[in-house]
Amino acid sequence: MKAERDELSCTHCGARRRFIKPPLFIVTGAAGSGKSTACQRLAGTIDGVLFLDADTFADDLTSVATPQRDYVAFWRFLLRLAHEVGQNDTSVAFCGIALPEQVLANSDMLDYFSAVHFIGLVCDEEVLRTRISSRAGGASAAQRSDLHLDINRRLRLSASTVPNMTLIDATRERAAVAAAIRQAIVPDDLDDVSDEIWRPGYQGPAPVSAPIRFPPETDPVPRLAKQDAGSAAMGRPRRRPSTGTIVGIVAVVAMSATIVTLVTNSNREPADSTSPPAVERLALPDVVATNGVPFAGADPRRLPGTLDPIWSQSVPAAEGDDVWVEVIDRRSVLVAIGPDQTMPTGSSVLQSLDAETGITRWSTDFAVAPDSLAFVAANADSIAVIIDGTLTGIDAATGASVWTFGGTAAIIESNVERLVGTDILAIGSPDGTSTLVDMTTGDTVGQLDGPTIATDQLGQFYVRRDDDIVRYDLGNGFSSPTMVAAGLGDPVVAVVGRRVITSGPQGWTASIAADERLGLERGVLDGSEDFPTAAAILPMVGTTFVVAGAGVIVGADLDGGDIRFAWKRDGTVTAMYPTERGFLVHAASRGGAAQTIYDGRNGNAVVTLTVTAGLFDSLVVAGNGVLTKKTDPDGPRLAGLDLDGNEMWAIRDVTAASVGDRLIVTTTRLDDGSVRLDAVGDLPTP
């Protein structure tokens, strides 16, 4: 329904009806700012205002289920909810973590309300850090302190750029904070005045509005665009980077810097500023097929062609224990077992099993719950884990801790990942830089000076450093960066096949490669007028790439000085998966209710995902196929699909599964609380 003044019009049949336009209130703040406590105090105390905890809706919405983190779509749902509640002459006050731009990006829905008021609870940073650290879980709860301190700072910045934003000092006593929130919602001089501006037929003066200016575009909420959902967390989802390619805060898949722009920028332009190109359903050049060899940058894991039994092993566990499983290629299987984090004391047993035989190699005890023990990556010598906020290297052969890496702040697991094609771990910082750590020794070897905008998946990374682009060659260890382009002022930049492409208010340009310098000459690309401004440019293989913006995704190719748009789909990009054939594109549409994985070469749907509980915990895209959860009259199953979407096999009646190389380990909770591990696959005969 489209809002026009005080009427809603149906975009399908044209029917119109009057509606109520209440004000909307969003009480936001970092964890520990006291918003939930204050809103509990205020619930039911202000006539005509319904207080709702926004965070309670996050558990069941696919828009923010791992790996989506689509907070714009999340708030779109809540805006619809507030609109419907408003038709009962009631305003909604949502309490939850939110940045104004995540809400205001839904510009077409703001007319449902007379105004959107943000009430930001901000704290002294040391007070906030102390509050977070004192929460249940002790030091493990403090792992998120840096994230929330960044949110706290962002809200302070927003006060000078966002209309109708009120900041409240939440360092004070709870009663004083609640009183200040009440005052922001119902000022003293309006206590006895009906807010009739939001009633049908209002004839008074028009509300005063101001243009929306957005704060700097640093995304404070880490986004995992891809997760090894095969990690077998039992009882709660694990949010751990995989051993394959991930897009996280370090942006290894050439899309993290742009994926943030996609979510927060695409709705800021006028509706007609980015017209989706009129494209035919054409295929892009198939670089992989032409070469006759699989794409070298593909995820190293392969789904098995058949599910032959390999071994079975029972693991002791008590009822209610947390268990997670991680298969490392075809070398080993890590199993963590222990009481969940709600218990007063926590301890875990971490075991390593031989992936081909199931025989236990070693077992190590840690004085933390399994939720505070997170797998990061592994190579032949070392296994990197985070133990209660400290990055730790474990000897792959013995289980002994051989190095630790930690600073003044706890390390958040979504902020560290292995750079694909290397034995280097990257630890992201709020300023966009990343500290690089040797996975085997734990030594700091260097730094990435900004977000990664492209990678060849084999150890070469292009990084945007202010308005410059530098290249890091890390396949054989750290080396100093090489300058490849300078003076780029455009908001969206990518490197596609040795050429720098930019898209901005002045249109599209591309550099002409010359030796090591990619940015010596720039020319306007013919054909780019069909897609005037992109929100994201996501490189694939060779000269092919994906363009996203205005709610559409388009496959494109660089042909000399031209852009050729080949296929088009609705939605926003949430992940790019490297496979033997090139890239698969994971798209979300209808606010996250529809999830589809497309072949990046031709835009064909490989699989339309069944949006059910546990979907993203079971989704794995390997080098040769997709493991996903499906349902049928016989119940749920884990289906193994090839890259054309054909179902090769299915697994039923398991709790979870973890994928290695031609090996899958399933976990099943038994009646006595113990866990049975079953390894299946088609491992080659030695």
Residue 92 sits in the same domain as residue 158: yes
CATH code of the domain covering residue 134: 3.40.50.300
Residue 139 sits in the same domain as residue 279: no
Question: What DSSP letter does each residue of 536-571 carry, written as one string?
Answer: EEEE-STTEEEEEETTEEEEEEEETTEEEEEEEEES
Residue 102 sits in the same domain as residue 16: yes
204 confidence band (pLDDT: 50, 70, 90): very low
Residue 293 sits in the same domain as residue 170: no
Give CA–CA dist 242/376, Å, rounded.
7
Mean pLDDT of 89-99: 90
What is the tally of structural domains in the chain?
A: 2
pLDDT of residue 281: 53
Residue 378 domain-assigned? no
Residue 500 domain-assigned? yes
Name the most confidently modeled range: 95-104, 364-373, 505-514: 95-104
Residue 169 sits in the same domain as residue 71: yes
Whether the Cβ atoms of residue 95 and residue 54 lie closer than 8 Å to each other: yes
> pTM of the prediction?
0.64
Q: Could you count the other beta carbons within 10 Å of the beta carbon of residue 36? A: 16
381 confidence band (pLDDT: 50, 70, 90): very high
Give CA–CA dist 140/148, Å, rounded.
14
Alpha helix segments (H runs only) across 192-255: none
pLDDT of residue 243: 29
Residue 422 domain-assigned? no
Residue 144 sits in the same domain as residue 260: no
Residue 657 domain-assigned? no
Q: Which of 609, 640, 673 is the last residue of a domain?
A: 609
Residue 30 sits in the same domain as residue 179: yes
pLDDT of residue 635: 80
Strand partners, 435: 427, 447
Residue 408 domain-assigned? no
Residue 245 domain-assigned? no
Residue 272 sits in the same domain as residue 170: no
Check whether 396 has a pLDDT greater than 80: yes
94 confidence band (pLDDT: 50, 70, 90): very high
Q: Which of 609, 643, 678 is the last residue of a domain?
A: 609
CB under 8 Å to 90, separation ≥6 — which residues? 22, 48, 49, 50
pLDDT of residue 154: 85
Residue 157 sits in the same domain as residue 260: no
Residue 22 sits in the same domain as residue 168: yes
pLDDT of residue 13: 55
Q: Which of 609, 626, 658 is the last residue of a domain?
A: 609
pLDDT in tens, 119-146: 999 988 888 888 887 764 444 444 567 7
Check whether 17 has a pLDDT greater than 50: yes
Whether the Cβ atoms of residue 427 and residue 259 lie closer than 8 Å to each other: no
pLDDT in tens, 137-193: 444 444 567 778 888 888 888 776 777 888 998 888 888 888 889 888 886 433 433
> 101-110, 227-236, 367-376: which has the minimum mean pLDDT?
227-236
Residue 36 sits in the same domain as residue 183: yes
Q: Residue 44 is part of which domain span?
A: 2-198
Residue 27 sits in the same domain as residue 146: yes
* Six token digits for residue 514: 């010359």
59 confidence band (pLDDT: 50, 70, 90): low
Establish how many alpha carbons lie within 13 A of residue 126's alpha carbon, considering only the half-sphere containing its beta carbon: 0
Residue 494 domain-assigned? yes
CB under 8 Å to 160, separation ≥6 — which residues? none
Q: Give the closest residue to 418 by CA, choosing from 449, 464, 455, 466.
A: 455
Whether the Cβ atoms of residue 518 and residue 469 lie closer than 8 Å to each other: yes
Residue 672 domain-assigned? no
